[in-house]
Amino acid sequence: MRTLFAAISLLGLLLGSVAWFVNYLSRIPKEVTLVCEIAPSNAGNKVAFVRVHGEILDKWSGVRDSIAAHTGHNTYPESVRLTLLNVKEHKKCLDLGGVDISGSPAWARDDSLLAYVSAYSELNKNDERKRLQIYDVTSDSSDTVFVANDWFIRSLSFSPESKHLAFVENYNNKNLRVLDIDSGNTTVLASGVNSFYVRWAVDGKSVFCIRNGLEIWQIAIEDKSKAMLFKGKDMNENYPNILTPSPDGRQLGFAYAGAFHSLDLETQRVARWFDCHHYFITFDWSNEGICYLDAVDEDAKKMARVMVYDPIGSTRTEVDVGPYAHVAWLREGVLVVRKDNTELWELTVQDKAMKRLFPVSSD
């Protein structure tokens, strides 16, 4: 009996040691390459995105959260790169280091220019002020068009005619600026603007933004006149998020209180269109409809339904279910999705066919 008791005790100790070791291994950062900040070209033949290589504990916690939680070599600017993929040829046509992890790239309407944010000066890497860069696809060269006073440039957005670029700078004031591409001059339109949600009106005469966390504003470019279009209730879940204008310019879509809402820009009426719940809130409105992610269960980070909403018929179509964290229209009938936070895929809406874009075979 004593022998049996001793054997059981030893087995318990071994199982406990194994459990401790497994838990210890799970807390060791893993070296991975994360994909973030996706920007498909308007022609649908290229995809620009920021990728981060480093040691990450939890790739599901979101790229920014993962990086912020671990201040090791994953935070070095050299490990944050801007990659441009040629979708048809399935190869990289641009790969730049030293970019800013939070500076989502943006295309000009004719795809001739690509705006992005660099993390430091090429001449002095100790100068960590963020720099707004514009890459010219034709000449294969980049120019610095604006230098921030601090480490903060966000929400890049070209005007429809590609003559102006809107962005938010200055962490404390969060100034909304508009850059004249030809002259290089910038104008401050407003302050207190949320960092990631600046969008141009379809006619190019104004921009939409979220101010003070709760308010959706429309600001005219010419005279800087401002109009508040919507105000949320509180900063718990009742605040507006992710602005996306309709292709015809008549409506402005936004997330609010766990649902997608549409604001009629003529009547100012707000309508709740459909529910949506996901950690990575994302909407893209084109003539094909509104693509977005909807969580499968309470764990709103790992599994998601890729959905397309038809505003005309008020119908929702489930395209696929999987570990998705971003979706956008690539071209007619085809989406680009971020999978596992480490891969990019094409996803065809009609037949659900998939084609991996990144990593490419040479990686």
Domain ranges of the chain: 148-275, 280-363
Q: Residue 89 pLDDT > 80, yes or no?
A: yes
Q: Residue 76 pLDDT > 60, yes or no?
A: no
Taking the C-alpha atoms of residue 56 and residue 62, their distance in angstroms, rounded to an integer, is 10
Which of 189 and 5 is assigned the larger pLDDT?
Answer: 189
Q: How far is Cα of residue 44 from the mean position of the Cα atoms in its chain? A: 17
Q: Within 10 A of 185 (CB to CB), how many other CB atoms are there?
A: 9
pLDDT of residue 314: 95
Taking the C-alpha atoms of residue 238 and residue 235, their distance in angstroms, rounded to an integer, is 6
pLDDT of residue 135: 95
Long-range contacts formed by 293-298: CB under 8 A, 24+ apart: 293/324, 293/325, 293/326, 293/327, 296/321
Task: Assess whether the region 148-275 and the region 280-363 belong to the same CATH fold.
Answer: no
pLDDT for 234-255, tens place per residue?
Answer: 877 788 988 999 999 999 999 9
Mean pLDDT score of the chain: 83
SS3 helix, strand, coil % of the chain, rounded to 5?
Answer: 10, 50, 40
In the structure, what pLDDT confidence band is assigned to residue 63 with cuts at 50, 70 and 90? very low
pLDDT of residue 102: 72
For residue 60, which phi and psi values (nearest 5 degrees)? Answer: -85, -10
CATH number of 148-275: 2.130.10.10
pLDDT of residue 280: 67
Overall size of the chain counted in residues: 363
Q: Which fold has domain 280-363?
A: Thrombin, subunit H (2.40.10)
In the structure, what pLDDT confidence band is assigned to residue 106 with cuts at 50, 70 and 90? very high
pLDDT of residue 22: 38
pTM score, whole prediction? 0.83
Taking the C-alpha atoms of residue 338 and residue 122, their distance in angstroms, rounded to an integer, is 30
In the structure, what pLDDT confidence band is assigned to residue 118 with cuts at 50, 70 and 90? confident
pLDDT of residue 97: 83
Q: Residue 2 pLDDT > 80, yes or no?
A: no
* Range of weakest confidence among 147-156, 317-326, 354-363: 354-363
CB 145 within 8 A of CB 164: no
Q: Residue 146 pLDDT > 60, yes or no?
A: yes
State the average pLDDT over residues 138-158: 91
In the structure, what pLDDT confidence band is assigned to residue 74 with cuts at 50, 70 and 90? very low
State the average pLDDT over residues 287-308: 85
CB 220 within 8 A of CB 207: no
Which of 251 and 72 is assigned the larger pLDDT?
Answer: 251
Which of 11 and 190 is assigned the larger pLDDT?
Answer: 190
Q: Residue 53 pLDDT > 90, yes or no?
A: no
Instruction: Quote the tokens at residue 327.
Output: 């979706």
To the nearest whole percent, how much of the chain has pLDDT over 70? 80
State the average pLDDT over residues 290-313: 86
Taking the C-alpha atoms of residue 115 and residue 177, their distance in angstroms, rounded to an integer, is 14
Q: Residue 230 pLDDT > 90, yes or no?
A: yes
CB 59 within 8 A of CB 49: no
Q: Residue 163 pLDDT > 80, yes or no?
A: yes
CB 348 within 8 A of CB 333: yes
* Range of weakest confidence among 37-51, 96-110, 112-126, 152-166: 112-126
Quick one: DSSP state of residue 67?
H
Q: Which helix (H) or strand (E) holds 17?
A: helix 2-26
Quick one: DSSP state of residue 60?
G
Q: Residue 282 pLDDT > 60, yes or no?
A: yes
In the structure, what pLDDT confidence band is assigned to residue 299 with cuts at 50, 70 and 90? low
CB 347 within 8 A of CB 306: yes
Q: Residue 296 pLDDT > 90, yes or no?
A: no
Q: Residue 31 pLDDT > 70, yes or no?
A: no
State the average pLDDT over residues 97-119: 89
